[in-house]
Chain A
Amino acid sequence: MTVATTRSIISGEAGAQTAPRVQVRNLSKIYRTRRGEHVALDNVSIDIGAGEFVVLLGPSGCGKTTLLRCIAGLEEPDGGEIHINGKLVYSSSAGISVPPEGRALNMVFQSYALWPHMSVVDNVAYPLRNARASTSEARARAAETLELVGLGAFTAAYPGQLSGGQQQRVALARSIVSNDGLVLFDEPLSNLDAKVRDRLRVELLNLQSRIGFSAVYVTHDQMEALALADRVAVMDVGRIAQIGSARDIYDRPTSRYVADFVGSANEIAGRIVSSSEGVAIETPMGRLSGVAGSDRLAEGAKAIAMVRPEHCILASPGSAASGNQVEGVVERSLYLGPVVQHFIMVGEQQLTVSVSGGEGLQPGSRVAIGFAADRTRIFAA
């Protein structure tokens, strides 16, 4: 695990160029409850570069919030080290734990966490006041920042008088006003409707490139993750399964778990027949060739070939093709707007094929499905 993580850090583009803003080393967190111990973080290591936007993506309960809160200092880890801007803020071995107010970072909460008894401008001025700025200076800078997020007209309002999207902008303004260089986001857009979410996402990216803070951003939404991230860290229970650019994660997953979790995938079980220069796998649909997704692929071992529905094409049966081709019977087609999804029975197994544009197919008709070998990733089963 550690090896894989280290390698992907080096391969990450932004992270390798400048000194990391955040360095997390072998972080562990164990919750002790009445029902026993629960390992929420298991030896997690991750670096976040200056100005880099890293998204944490993973299923519910995998520890994304826990990781974020450990970085923030809101939760005390049980082991490991955290550096922020090169300064050691947590170390279990040195017995150091800097409280949140001593860490150069800010955070946007899922519930916005605006203080209802303070006006919008006072909410935003709060971090400056704590940094010993005078009231008038803090207010002035807060008003500037509110201008920046498009809320110049709302400085005197109270949070309760704003819409959800406006409240989220206030929270955003509060997190960037003191310019700490690092902002943590815990599902900041999940309470908003789709349209507002899209718009705020773009505004967030604009702000980030303008101000240049590093961001660690937790989300459930894959499309959001792929759209925002310089790098995506996909988490499995308590650990980071893969970290890399959106393209890496989507096109070159290094494990079945990641392939499955991000996007959707057709999985075809079989046995490895050759693993030299490309991998070949014998399946009930015939022999398929592909590339190795993970290292451990011994000949004769059970394996899974995985191909994404949108990497498949449809052809008429019998046509010559390069790459893999299987034949099947159309069960049903779903029109989804931008794409049409076809469900096709190949032998005993149903495969999904997504085609952008195009017509539905007659159920019962025979079709061939083609997919390139370099789009077919093979993992040990």
Chain B
Amino acid sequence: MDATTRAAPTRKASALAGAIRNMTWFSAVLWALMAIVGLLVVYPLLTALIHEFDQVVIGLGELGQGDLAASVPTVLWNTFVVVVGGTVIALVIGSALAWANERSDASLGWIGQLLPLAALIVPPIAGVIGWAVLLDPRAGLMNHFIRNMLAPLGISFDTGPFNIYTMAGLVIITGLYIVPYVYLVVSAALQRLDPAVEEASRVSGANPFKTLYRVTLPAVRPSLVASALLGVISGVSLFSVPAILGGGARIDVLSVFIYRLLSVYPTRIGPALVLAMGMLVLVQVLLVAQHLLIRRGQSAAIGGRGFRGTRVKLGPFRYLVLAMAALYLLATAVLPLLGLLLVSLQPFWTPSINWATLTLDNFKFVLLENKTTVSALINSMWLGFVVASFNMLLTGATTLHFVRNPAARRLADSLTGMPATIPHTVIGVAFILAFSQPPLRIYGTTAILLLAYVVMTLPYAARAASAAADTIGIELGEASRINKASDLVTLWRIMLPLALPGLVAGWIMVFVHTVGEITASAFLSGTNNPVIGRVLLDFWTFGNFPQVASLALIITVISSTFVGLMLLVTRRRHAVTVS
């Protein structure tokens, strides 16, 4: 690079001209790639709407009368109950655990670290299948176990006592997978809140619980509301739980209902598109609300130093909190995995385990014999690898390169963050409709999955890259420039090594999300381009339960191995970081 002068022809160049003058081939490539990704979001939505406009009109009519007019209100009501119920459960569990971990002597230790990762370690699809095999009213392993325990007492049932295929089951399991969102947001808010404000309340004569209600909760209220909205948004797009449980329970929620509209014959494009757009609008409204609240929330944040105040002594309640945390991990990971393991080792799903016939045949079938599962595994892994690499390279290079240019970084951030505002169901619908017609007729190929995954996981990548860049003090880069390093040398020798652990963590996160992805996989994958998510759903529908269980276990092992690696990488930072 030219290190002497950058002369401008005119006296007062406009900001735009200045930006173009400072454009290097490197930043030009970055902008081009981001523009392409941005296009990948906008193009399918617009194409779907424009091409199927007459269908939209028809769809509006069909929703007003006919069979849909009767079923859609029920679907909407179900969705409302599942999402709001799940969010409430998550809010209670998530914020209680966050408070206990940040402010009480019931520090959760490693559980506290794993909690926000629960949904990554055990992909929701695996977890929910695990619960289905545990609490199926007839064949559920746990139900069977409980019945056996109760029989000697003279209490006997043929089914139950629990039934996962109910509204309650749907709500609780949905809630379990929203907990990490709440926990993360509330934890962060509590970390920002200077414990001194709570100590001041204690010194002023309020007991711990009064302090909690009068000081702590009001101070983090914006974050509570924000996390509730986040829960609603993620609950609306959650596909795995209703896809697995909704069928047995005969309860349809929106995301699965839309999928059905497109997978029945004849497909009902209009109503699907109208409902998807409604979902999109709802989420946009919620996001705007969340944005406003978080802004206010940040201005209400007090202090910023990470110091630890005295912790509230919970006494015997400590064990209650610890039990709650343990129970959560049990519910999201241990029990469902146990269920999956037991079913996967049997030739058939039977509630009573015959220890003599345990077999690894299912794993052999899934991993070696069955063409579909083998190619699904290979496809998913390969896609995960490519998607994670592309997204992390793009977002990593962008964030680190534009570190000194806040305006460029904001623009890049809003481009890469855009897909986060679009429910995956909507992405699925738009991709199907837009990419099954010219000029880009790629429906049924691996390419469409690749594009969809790139779009869907881009926000995760961007967030990880931002977090990695933000931990590097600005002065570290400036010191490099002062020491005569060009921009690219600074990027290569200073910023990249320092950001690497964060970038690797981001790569793993994207990889894991891609491998365990369900929604887009359901919409876009088929016999020609199978991926794990789609195959799991199909096998479940066809009743190949032992194979489903072993496949679910396999992706759990893949996920948790990678998450373990991620923890290792992020833990192994330089002994003490400077500035």
Contacts and interface: CB of A to CB of B under 8 A. Distances in A.
B481 interface: yes
Given A95-B9, A99-B3, A161-B576, A126 B473 contact: no
Interface in A60-117: 72-74, 92-102, 105-107, 109-117
Interface in B376-408: none
Given A95-B11, A98-B4, A102-B3, A116 B498 contact: yes
Nearest to B483: A127
Interface in B9-26: 9-11, 13
A113 B478 contact: yes
B415 interface: no
A14 to B, nearest CB: 24
Interface in B475-489: 475-476, 478-486, 489
B569 to A, nearest CB: 14
B305 interface: no
Contacts, number: 105
A41 B475 CA distance: 21
The number of chain B residues touching the other chain, given as a range, is 20 to 34
Nearest to A98: B5
Contacts of B575: 158, 160-161
Contact of A96 (B7, B475, B481, B576): B7
Interface in B447-481: 473, 475-476, 478-481
B578 interface: yes
Given A98-B4, A101-B481, A117 B473 contact: no
B485 A126 contact: yes
B334 interface: no
Nearest to B486: A101
A167 interface: yes
B485 A107 contact: no
A51 interface: no
Contact of A126 (B4, B8, B480): B480
Nearest to A96: B5
A130 interface: yes
B571 interface: no
A23 interface: no
B482 A72 contact: yes
Contact of B484 (A110, A130, A158): A130
Nearest to B473: A111
- Determine the main DSSP class of B at the interface with A: loop
B497 interface: yes
A76 to B, nearest CB: 9
A117 B497 contact: yes
Interface string B421-445: 0000000000000000000000000
A116 B573 CA distance: 10
Interface string B481-503: 11111100100011001100000
Contacts of A97: 5-6
Contact of A158 (B475, B486, B498, B574): B574
A83 to B, nearest CB: 13
A376 interface: no
Contacts of B13: 95
A116 B578 contact: yes
Interface in A335-362: none
Contacts of A117: 497-498, 574
B482 A126 contact: no
B478 A109 contact: yes
Contact of A107 (B6, B10, B482): B482
Contacts of A109: 475, 478-479
A100 B481 contact: yes
A98 B498 CA distance: 27
A160 B576 contact: yes
Contacts of B475: 109-111, 113
B204 interface: no
B577 interface: yes
A293 interface: no
A328 B473 CA distance: 55
Nearest to B18: A76
A160 B498 CA distance: 14
A126 B483 CA distance: 7
A159 interface: yes
Contacts of B579: 111-114
A95 B578 contact: no
Interface string A125-169: 011001100000000000000000000000000111100000100
Contacts of A160: 574-578
B472 to A, nearest CB: 9
A167 B579 CA distance: 11
A64 B538 CA distance: 67
Nearest to A122: B493
A292 B311 CA distance: 62
A111 B578 contact: yes
Contacts of A92: 11
Contacts of B485: 101, 126, 130
Nearest to B479: A113
A256 interface: no
A127 B480 CA distance: 8
Nearest to B476: A113
A174 interface: yes
A167 B578 contact: yes
A285 to B, nearest CB: 46
Given A95-B7, A102-B4, A74 B578 contact: no
B576 A95 contact: no
Given A116-B577, A117-B497, A107 B7 contact: no
A109 B575 CA distance: 21
Contacts of A99: 3, 6, 481
A101 B483 CA distance: 6
A273 B9 CA distance: 59
A178 interface: yes
Interface of B: 3-11, 13, 473, 475-476, 478-486, 489, 493-494, 497-498, 574-579
Please list the 3 inter-chain residue pairs (A to B) with the smallest Cβ-Cβ separation, ordered nearest first.
A160-B576, A95-B8, A113-B479
Given A100-B478, A107-B482, 4 more contacts: A111-B473, A111-B578, A117-B574, A130-B485
Interface of A: 72-74, 92-102, 105-107, 109-117, 126-127, 130-131, 158-161, 167, 174, 178
15 contacts: A95-B8, A95-B10, A100-B478, A102-B5, A106-B482, A109-B478, A113-B578, A114-B578, A114-B579, A115-B476, A116-B578, A130-B483, A131-B484, A160-B576, A161-B575
